[in-house]
Amino acid sequence: MNHCVHPASFETNNRTYSCQNNTQHILPLTAVAAAVLVAVAITIIIIIIIVLWNQAVHTDREVTTNRPDIIIKNKKEKTCTLIDVAIPADRNTVQKDAEKKLKYKSLCIEIQQMWNLKCTIIPVIIKVTGIVTRSLRKNLEAVPGKHSIDSLQKTAILGTSNILRKVLQCEA
């Protein structure tokens, strides 16, 4: 299922797209992660900010992990934020948080050198049952816009229930 990230218009790769007449511009991701990405990205105000999603970053050095879920470049404040969303099982949240930060560390260093921007990595970790990590609220404060953790939790739970419903229908 495809979703449009911003109701008005947005810019990516020096192209401006607008969501009119039910056009859809985001590539499909896993069902739950895509819904959470849309919930996070829909609240971002785009003024001098470029939002990229599901897009590889080409660097001078070879970086194996060069495709975070969302990249937010703020030209005015000279910052770049890498956001990666994970919906792990209940017992893997602490490991996922550390894994996401370590996974994109080399990309963050390359972005700082190439684009001359301060780079930060924000993992958005929501358990399949909708429980969020303690650091999520603090992490989301660094992302521009207003965010509702309740809506992120609801999206994760609905996605999980949708997957379970499909699995149980296949076995019946």
E strand or H helix at 106: helix 105-115
Residue 30's pLDDT is what? 59
pLDDT band at 129 (very low <50, low <70, confident <90, very high): confident
Name the nearest CA neighbour of 51 among 40, 63, 62. 40
Residue 35: pLDDT band (50, 70, 90) is: low
Q: Return the domain boundaries, the chain.
A: 9-171
Distance set, CA 39 to CA 66, 77, 137, 150 (Å): 23, 24, 15, 11
CA distance 48 to 40: 18
pLDDT digits (tens, 9 = 90+) for 57-76: 988 889 989 999 999 998 88
Average pLDDT over residues 41-61: 73
Could you give the 3-state DSSP secondary structure of residue 138? helix
pLDDT at 6 over 80: no
- Put simply, whether the predicted model's pTM sits higher than 0.95 gets the answer no
Q: What pLDDT is stored for residue 19 in this prediction?
A: 41
Mean of all residue pLDDT scores within the chain: 76
- According to DSSP, residue 69 is labeled S
